[in-house]
Structure 1
């Protein structure tokens, strides 16, 4: 009889579960098999089930599985799906701590009996005709975290491991007519100690459930190896087949045909099963090799015959010929050093949690390919089978990671303390951990996209994980093995074939690489992309060409884990930890994606796409140098597009077909007009675009770009001519001319009015700005604590002097400011009014020693929110910062003010642009204000409906007020955003702003007229 004691028994992780096996598909005919699609011998049980929720085992409906128990009055639940996202319990987000920390005083393998929610599922099915008089099995592709199964009142089995299939034999329990299937799901079990990943804690049947049957002769397990010879040109194919119930299938045989992508047979082999096993080997000859750059797939068509020579089963398995190996201390694919340009990816949907759909996966694959991301680490559990099939087909390298993370058992608030770490060296944990490894490898072993097996994540180190690593090597020597945790205990260094660290600084990685290391290096997690982040990514990618043993990394992470929730007024927003009254929680630490939770791309992706480019373009007036860093792919299929711009306007363009083989470079000439006779700023864009549409992007989609700018000097423009009238009052200084008036206040200590005709442009006067709304990374280094005096300096300044000066054609009013942060800190802002109504603004900062670095040095002012249209001549189109500007390009672009701020989970600094030459801020009629900076000394600028303090004080976007202003912040310099990590890594020194220097910037305000 089933027992609740199994939930806390480390020795019981499955009862009556079938052995893990490959995820291949099988059909009755080869025509069906080659067509693919739904398997006739499967029957989905997805859909609406009856459901009862209990907060703990004692309050569950204990006898619900009995045939005479009526579940008809129960609620409905959708399968697949999470319990907590369908109205029961609550989702909980925690990172490293266990979700019961502080609520239950537990130690492994104990499980609370008072706070362990139970979901009781029931459905009925009638056996399809195709399954009559045949064995019947059931497959649960994913159930979190432990479950018991009954059919028609009979106990069927028990399983743990949330992320690999659990399958059971239903044959003894199936009957004619309706069959009652009952499943009891427990949120917590012994397995929960091994599933402490950085994610939302859900439970339930969240992946597909289906019945299946098998023919009389059936290949239960298939292992296809598609290798290359030592020249990396000739294919070597082997297929290991294991029959189900071999004694019942005497003289069974199989034929293997290998077909290329066009359907032509390129090799054939046959053989008879002996003892239920058959190994077929083929010398294929010269083959097309599989890689992410050219994911060429063959089809291994396997016909299985019974003893009478009749076709019993047809299997088609996609095959990619490739060799992945360690060669001269380098990881090599098909003989070439590989560089992983990767991301860590959770399965996640903002409405469905981890119960993601095919459409989600296709969107993700296209997004990876469109942004030059060539690799994914399945953090930190095996994904749905479909994901690997798509990676095979589209070309994505995969680190397949087993379902193991015990972070909270050895790291507490950042401190390493492994006194009760699991699995460690505890022999009683070996079998449950090894089962997870075996379940992953046996299911996923046929996918060419998987290059590396990973022993899990952040589980410290020890003998158990070392044994897992050795199992991977023995069972599948054609792949390498990864594990990061040995960094904490070098006694188990041989667990990982490569050195793998998390969030190491570039300098630390360089120190490792310079010390004649024994293993190549990858960053299994780096560039913590929380909120406004990914600054300094170039410092990592620059190591790729400098050190051959640096072989790339995987950004943390791909998608924000935020859930759709409604506020008290019924408006949807993206919620994070704590928003569901979940405690304990790690709040917004789930927002680390380069993709927003609603599957739109964040501005951070702009930098990732550029720095992950395989093609580097360096244009000049005569042509472009193209460096092709691809391993195998030339520029065939790509077209070169080049354009010449003059101060934001395209003046010439061209297109050329190019041929630059992999790992070579070439200079491609092109003809552009001579521009030496017209002063101003020019730039040349050169892009490689798709010549034809692919499955993941349309024709013309840009793969890579490069840009160069240059100035043609000219004579200085003469001063505008016209009358200027100056009125110096007791409180105010007024300057007026034809069609405009400017007012300066000695009392307010600033420009207070800039009026063009009847339009007042200044809603709130300009003031020196030192503070920005802290980013998540700023909070991680306690910026408000260490540099909060600059927040006070921004909010409380004192005008220490006003000076009026007049020269021919100009009037200047200067304000000097002092600050409580330090007696020697001074800022001078000088406004020079010209006869055409333009106002040049010059701001100078003089610092002092002993003060914290400045977040920024700028000037901020407000316009009416009616001015909500912007046009930029700057670096863009997406936000950029001094340490995240490589992927930006000089250009002109237009955005509404509401579109400039980024939608990070927690409001923070965003929307900045560097290299700003010009910004127009206009209303619906096209009238408004224009800001211009020198082409040689551009400024930084952001435009928002909110001040830094309003953003600082909001924990959610819905806490921000309704827009009343358009806030313009012009900066001579803003510090970078950083991203090495989000809990203590400062912005790199060269992207900080020392407080003891002198800074200056200038720009000009003028009337923007309708175009």
Structure 2
């Protein structure tokens, strides 16, 4: 580890009030001095920090001078030194260390010509609940821009405390659960791992971003790739590199590449030899995957532990579902009420514009707009059905709880073994920030096996979607992500198709016109939104499926910037097609 060792000084709510108070001068000096004297012989410590969120004043100046006198070999860090002025505070900090800056802000600073110190974000990418959106974009900026040296994701773990309720149920407790006031609610649960130290999905995203070896290619089908060693002190001799070529998630070729000698911060070329690279050898989507593993056991991981991976799309021949004149499934696809009937369906598809608020949605006040739109509760107020021998056309009008109208057109046509539904949804342009635009329905819970072809295996969302496209085999129950406070979870970006089956393999498969955001979970959005702890959730017995034409990014707005404009969902007309077949 590279460690910034921080003095136990944080006045927080009082902020500047003690920074210039002479009554606290000796306390500042003692805490900083003891830290330096205690830890100065630890080589992992590369900076001293004067504290956190304590304003700026004469007491900091004294503590900084004392630290420099005790150990002139290490630089100082203090965010309060540059708060409000990134070009100031030289006596207090040797780095510019802003808290929760936007990507634009750090890039603008580097490009301003005023940068005279490295920039290290002392806190960024607040990891509260389903969060850490745009983490990749931060690191794209850092890797491509000299002067940006990274930052500290806030923070490592959720500070939930195991609490046993009177009935013996155990839960992760947070602010207010012990009857105390005042408190910060679940704001203490903002880590990359859960209270039991299980990694959250965002940690898997960061693992890919922070890999010690990176593989790139301008044309993967050529078999030529560049391997970059991002380590600073070691070569790549400790790693093995394996590759595989998949078609529709099935391995069709694989092998191992001998890594050349690559010095720290250097790159080298490798090549993969496989006939499967050259041209599609069958219909279906193809990818080449690389996995980088440790050769030997270390103190922190076993031999064979994966430390990084890369995936590249290869030329593919598209699969198509043949049209049909009719079939038994198509003939009963739409009932007299204009509801689409899905095999093993319990509740027919309905329009969906809302999600159970994430911590970022709730604390970042994004939900205020959703309440104004009234999109949590939708009522179908009108429906017309036009039937021909070759199609059903269902035109529905939905009304939000605040009176806005949304139009939905569903064109149902037969295909081999089932039917296709082309959805066209027109949402008022006044809706500038929606959670999603799509449909949801419920399937019999005995179809508990869930297979999907998309990004995984961890949960992914539009602004946090570093995952391998693969055929993932799981269960509906395993899709649930137990955030300490329940919220939107379990989604997957880039889903091409998915299937729900029982233990005999019978069920339903749904193919999508292009990669979409999909979820299949045991809980309804209302349940997630109304619960304060996950132990309150009781499975419905059904599987709740969402298919979205568009889905909002998760961002980091509970403490930091919201998602980028590219990941917002606004009003307009959206179309997508989903195809249903029985298995």
> Which residue does 2:270 correspond to in 1?
668
Which structure has the higher relative contact order (CA within 8 Å, separation 6+)? 2
> Which residue does 1:814 correspond to in 2?
394
Deviations 1:22-57 (A, max 9, x none): xxxxxxxxxxxxxxxxxxxxxxxxxxxxxxxxxxxx
The answer to whether the 8 A contact 1:461-1:489 is kept is no
The answer to whether the 8 A contact 1:529-1:557 is kept is yes
Pick from 515, 522, 525 the counterpart of residue 120 of structure 2: 522
Partner Cα separation in structure 1 for residue 450 and residue 285 of structure 2: 21
1:477 aligns with 2:66: no
Kindly report the root-mean-square deviation, in angstroms, between the aligned alpha carbons of the 2 structures. Answer: 2.1
Partner Cα separation in structure 2 for residue 984 and residue 786 of structure 1: 19
Give secondary structure in 1 for the equivalent of 2:519. Answer: strand
Give secondary structure in 1 for the equivalent of 2:483. Answer: coil
The answer to whether the 8 A contact 2:451-2:474 is kept is yes
Give secondary structure in 2 for the equivalent of 1:541. Answer: helix
Partner Cα separation in structure 1 for residue 473 and residue 319 of structure 2: 30
> Which residue does 1:1002 correspond to in 2?
577
Deviations 1:725-749 (A, max 9, x none): xxxxxxxxxxx36xx86352343x4
Partner Cα separation in structure 1 for residue 35 and residue 81 of structure 2: 21
> Which residue does 2:335 correspond to in 1?
745
Partner Cα separation in structure 2 for residue 829 and residue 787 of structure 1: 25
Pick from 62, 70, 78 the counterpart of residue 467 of structure 1: 62
1:681 aligns with 2:285: yes
1:480 Cα deviation after fit? 0.9
1:510 aligns with 2:99: no
1:967 aligns with 2:544: yes
1:941 aligns with 2:518: yes
1:520 Cα deviation after fit? 1.4
Partner Cα separation in structure 2 for residue 922 and residue 773 of structure 1: 26
Partner Cα separation in structure 2 for residue 742 and residue 623 of structure 1: 52
Partner Cα separation in structure 1 for residue 305 and residue 295 of structure 2: 8
Partner Cα separation in structure 2 for residue 878 and residue 654 of structure 1: 25
> Which residue does 2:385 correspond to in 1?
802
1:791 Cα deviation after fit? 4.7
1:641 aligns with 2:242: yes
Pick from 190, 200, 221 the counterpart of residue 592 of structure 1: 190
Pick from 829, 834, 838 the counterpart of residue 410 of structure 2: 829
The answer to whether the 8 A contact 1:463-1:492 is kept is no
1:904 Cα deviation after fit? 0.6
> Which residue does 1:407 correspond to in 2?
12
1:499 aligns with 2:104: no
The answer to whether the 8 A contact 2:100-2:560 is kept is no
1:766 aligns with 2:349: yes
Pick from 915, 928, 932 the counterpart of residue 507 of structure 2: 928
1:240-389 equivalent positions in 2, closer than 5 A: none
The answer to whether the 8 A contact 2:523-2:539 is kept is no
1:677 Cα deviation after fit? 4.2
1:754-793 equivalent positions in 2, closer than 5 A: 754-755=342-343, 761-792=344-375
Give secondary structure in 2 for the equivalent of 1:938. Answer: strand
1:803 Cα deviation after fit? 1.9
1:816 Cα deviation after fit? 2.7
Partner Cα separation in structure 1 for residue 83 and residue 232 of structure 2: 34
The answer to whether the 8 A contact 1:741-1:754 is kept is no
The answer to whether the 8 A contact 1:462-1:492 is kept is no
1:917 aligns with 2:477: no
1:554 aligns with 2:152: yes
> Which residue does 2:431 correspond to in 1?
851
TM-score by length of 1: 0.55
The answer to whether the 8 A contact 2:395-2:407 is kept is no
Partner Cα separation in structure 1 for residue 502 and residue 320 of structure 2: 32
1:881 aligns with 2:461: yes
TM-score by length of 2: 0.94
1:562 Cα deviation after fit? 0.2
Give secondary structure in 2 for the equivalent of 1:631. Answer: coil
Partner Cα separation in structure 2 for residue 488 and residue 829 of structure 1: 54
Partner Cα separation in structure 1 for residue 293 and residue 89 of structure 2: 47
Give secondary structure in 1 for the equivalent of 2:91. Answer: helix
The answer to whether the 8 A contact 1:800-1:816 is kept is yes
Deviations 1:401-443 (A, max 9, x none): 1111000113xxxxxxx4xx11x12222111221111211111
The answer to whether the 8 A contact 1:501-1:523 is kept is yes
1:175-194 equivalent positions in 2, closer than 5 A: none
Give secondary structure in 1 for the equivalent of 2:345. Answer: coil
1:780 Cα deviation after fit? 2.0
> Which residue does 1:581 correspond to in 2?
179
Give the total of aligned pairs.
573
Partner Cα separation in structure 1 for residue 378 and residue 528 of structure 2: 14
Quick one: structure 1 residues 968 and 665, their matched pair in 2 at CA, closer, same or farther if it must change by over 3 Å?
same
> Which residue does 1:538 correspond to in 2?
136
> Which residue does 1:432 correspond to in 2?
27
Higher gyration radius (CA): 1
Quick one: structure 1 residues 716 and 924, their matched pair in 2 at CA, closer, same or farther if it must change by over 3 Å?
closer
Partner Cα separation in structure 2 for residue 762 and residue 613 of structure 1: 43
1:862 aligns with 2:442: yes
Partner Cα separation in structure 2 for residue 432 and residue 632 of structure 1: 39
Show structure 1 runs of 5+ residues with no match: 1-395, 411-417, 725-735, 756-760
Quick one: structure 1 residues 993 and 792, their matched pair in 2 at CA, closer, same or farther if it must change by over 3 Å?
closer
Partner Cα separation in structure 1 for residue 106 and residue 565 of structure 2: 17
Partner Cα separation in structure 2 for residue 903 and residue 596 of structure 1: 9
1:941 Cα deviation after fit? 0.4
Show structure 2 runs of 5+ residues with no match: none
> Which residue does 2:229 correspond to in 1?
628
1:896 Cα deviation after fit? 1.9
